[in-house]
Amino acid sequence: MVSMYIFAIAVAGLISTTEAIKGDAIATLPVGEYYRPRGKLVSRRVDATTAFLRSPCPALNSLANHGYLLRDDMSISKAQIKEAAMKYFNVADDIVNFLTDALPDTLYLNFISKHGYRARHLACSRRRFL
């Protein structure tokens, strides 16, 4: 019977809440250290209730995974996105303004996944950008 209690405690420890996962473990990661949430912890769906939200934009996800944007992706400001893009991707101010002008002042990373939201799909490697 005691072993059953130990097993139950172990399982309860493994099935910890996503808030605990987000809180302690992620908060201690230094900015610049890579952490990519996986599985059921992350979603890019607009109606998601997961601990981590991600964008269909790999650049924004990379900034969040490295801690240059909030790792939990809640209420990121347009100013934070601009600052991180200019500092870590070495993008000029006028280009960052062009790419972010359609964004609201504050957003979750999965905001771009909204149906009907028209994002600027430009990449330097694409012919249409040149």
Average confidence (pLDDT) over 25-46 = 72
Tell whether 97 is covered by a domain.
yes
Which of 113, 110, 79, 109 is CA-nearest to residue 96?
79
Residue 111 has pLDDT above 50, yes or no: yes
- Asked whether residue 6 is assigned to any structural domain, the reply reads no
Give CA–CA dist 95/58, Å, rounded: 17
> How many C-beta neighbours within 10 Å does residue 68 have?
20
Q: At 58, phi and psi to the nearest 5?
A: -60, -30
78-88 and 93-100 helices cross at what angle (nearest 10)? 140
Any domain includes 1: no
pLDDT band at 129, cuts 50/70/90? very low
Q: How many domains does the chain have?
A: 1
Tens digit of each residue's pLDDT (9 = 90 or more) over 44-68: 666 667 777 777 788 888 888 888 9
Residue 12: inside a domain, yes or no? no
Which of the four pLDDT bands, split at 50, 70 and 90, describes residue 15? very low
Q: What is the pLDDT of residues 65-110, one digit of tens each?
A: 888 988 776 788 999 999 999 999 999 999 999 888 888 898 877 7
In a domain, residue 122? The reply is: yes
Residue 3 lies in a domain: no
5, burial (CB in 10 Å: exposed 0-12, middle 13-18, buried 19+): exposed
| Residue 23 within a domain | yes
User: What pTM did the predictor assign?
Assistant: 0.63
Residue 55: which domain range? 19-129
Instruction: Answer yes or no: is 7 within a domain.
Output: no
The answer to whether 53 and 42 have CB atoms below 8 angstroms apart is yes
